[in-house]
Chains A and B, each alone.
Chain A
Amino acid sequence: MSQQQHTSDHGGQGSNVAKRAEQRWAFVAVLMLILFVGLAAGAGIHYMVMPQARVETTDPRTVAITGEFVESNLGSVAEPDGSVTVRALGQRYSFTPSCIVVPAQTPVRLRATSADVIHGILIEGTNVNTMLIPGYVSSITMQFRESGEHLMPCQEFCSVGHEGMWGKVRVIDKAAFTAAAAKAKRVTCAEQ
């Protein structure tokens, strides 16, 4: 094998060929990486799927008894600009509201936090997926294309009752939501 005869040949034909093949591959590999990162950044910008823009904190001791996440303030509310804000609280072992209702084809912002330990929110059938860390407010924006019902499990281990922590998201059409929002300041489907 000609490669072996040239082991001591500094700058021999074989080692040059080998080096060039390696360099070509390294170049291709770096190009691939730039492509991946570019795709991710581009997709993020185009589809506006980006991590939440701000870090917000709450007082974990009182988050459930006073302030933005008190029980009467949870649920969906229509904002003046036509969007909807949903506030939710995760605790061991349920979400409040246990059934969240949102209108289809409307920008929705979900604001949520945890009252005790780390939980997660995952809306099945969508890419809505965030952690709930006690002391911090999670905020993500979403838009549902069609009506329907989705399961919303807690996706992070929150101790021994974690397997029972499943909520629901009900997407209804805009008119039905507007009617519901006219009747109650905070809309949920928890009673149904």
Chain B
Amino acid sequence: MSDAPPLPTLLVIPTGVGCVVGGYAGDGLPAARLLAAASGCLITHPNVMNGASLYWSDRRIHYVEGWALDRFATAELALAPVAGRRVGLLLDAGIEPQLRARQLQAAEACRATLGLSIGPVVTTEVPLGVGLSLGPSGSSWGTLERPDALLRAGEKLVAAGATAIAAVARFPEDPESEALVAYRAGSGVDALAGAEAVISHLLVRHLGIPCAHAPALTPLPLDPDLDPRAAAEELGHTFLPCVLVCLSRAPDLLPLGPGDVTAGGMPGRPERWPAVRFGSGQELTRAGGLLEASCLGAVVAPAGALGGEAVLACAARGVPLIAVAGNACLLQVSGEALGLEVISANSYAEAAGLVLALREGLDPAMLRRPLRRLE
């Protein structure tokens, strides 16, 4: 274990683009755990962490929804770790009674068995009307017929004291669709992922608190050839436990003013959250220091999916970008194509080694051969 100060590291595995690692049911979690150990401080998003009934809780991992992650990377938000929070449950009116009861029982289980603070429960006034779609690239996207109903339900939860929101929407399903068959066989895109992200993005953008989504779906028929990476989603009746657990410790999202990014102790910063500058040797305190984009020491992303806002914003700021070639996806938006300087890694194991090198103050180039002479 390194005794060097933590190196805040951003791990991005975009959802809905068929990543071979992290494109299924929380199968990016082992990579996240390793990178958390290597960095001492990992910021990542629900697609990486959510494994339906499976989850992993690690104080070094900060769970930040995608819209907030983008705002964090663009230095519009800071993150303030919290001891715990009260997670409100937002249920789509389109969920059938039996399926709704399953969601409520999952929430009750997390209260009784894990001791989480959950509630209240609010149901939308009308069904949300989730729609799924694929873009020209094959990426998964989606929309809602009634985003207004989603946001009104979220407002009610906040008014009732929730400091995070777990949303559950009824998703369209077709057990025999080619996309689902391919996904369960380990060769397709998660068709639900794009719409899920839209739901959580809308809530976080509107309410400014941590939110994440779990789809409501009826159980699928047994598939003896199910790919291991998709198996976590077939263990139970809901996908909710991971969301409730991860949200229960998700950091606060603090808006930053335009001048708040590069200078510590800036005007307008809440007094109770002292700035933490990892690069200068200060440790992240248990009481909770602010994490800002300017603290980031590395960003890790699939080599072919570097075209998201968070990665581009980090690259523009000069944060070392580790591109994992071993996490293939259906996109080919590489560092070379975009004109970005990257540090290549064949796997997340190698990426973790590079993060550790950066944390220890080693130049990653010195670990490779041939070694060029100084000019």
Q: Do A and B come from one complex?
A: no
- B residues apposed to A, CB below 8 Å: none
